[in-house]
Amino acid sequence: MAASDLINLSGLIDDAKCFALVRQHRWPEGACCPVCGSGAVIRDGHDDTQPHRQRYRCKVCAGRFDDLTGTVLAGHHQPLRVWVLCLYFMGLNLSNRQIALELGLDSSDTQAMTEQLRRGLAAKTPAVELTGEVEIDEVYVVAGHKGQPAAVAKRAGSDAVASWQARQAAARWRRTSRPSSA
């Protein structure tokens, strides 16, 4: 029996904390408008179907947005906690196939998710300044291999090595590029 039959990990994850995590990474200084960049925003209730997803209104441009607006996490059918777990498993150097098994997803969905996460949480919002560090990628640099990345990569198979290299490339890209051309 697979571990996933015994423990539904996704069901143990706190939605409120997942949204708090996104807010903290996205707006460490407090929410700001994805349209005009103003920090003069007020809270404007919560999403109708996701009670922890905060909505906001911009006092400058009157734009409306929420915690996920303009991120790769918006507009997808997977709940936020599945994305957060996916990110965590990527940090453990799991292959797409292993992640799909753990999360009960099909492999094409999983591949799409990991590709998007590698580009960064805010990759869909080129209008927003992404200069400096968008450091959700810490999660997948650290955990898991305990100083033995080669051993983990060997166990996980060559696709893990390839995806690790892709993550490195993506991380470099985020550190060195500006979104103006996107």
- Residues found near Zn ion in the complex (CB under 5 A): 33, 35-36, 38, 58, 60-61, 63
Query: Which DSSP letter does residue 55 get?
Result: E
Packed helices 96-103 and 80-91: angle between N→C axes, nearest 10 degrees: 140
Joined together, the tokens standing for residue 156 give 């996980």
Comparing CB distances to Zn ion, the nearer of 34 and 91 is: 34
Contact 110, 103 (CB under 8 A): yes
CB 130 to Zn ion: min, Å:
17
Comparing CB distances to Zn ion, the nearer of 41 and 80 is: 41
CB 65 to Zn ion: min, Å:
8
Comparing CB distances to Zn ion, the nearer of 38 and 168 is: 38
CB 4 to Zn ion: min, Å:
42
CB 59 to Zn ion: min, Å:
8
Neighbours of 99 (CB within 10 A): 23
Comparing CB distances to Zn ion, the nearer of 23 and 76 is: 23
Alpha-carbon dihedral 128, 126, 162, 175, rounded to 10 degrees = -50
Comparing CB distances to Zn ion, the nearer of 16 and 60 is: 60
Q: Which helix (H) or strand (E) holds 5?
A: helix 3-6
Name the residue with tokens 């100083």.
147
- Three-state secondary-structure class, residue 145: coil
CB 63 to Zn ion: min, Å:
4
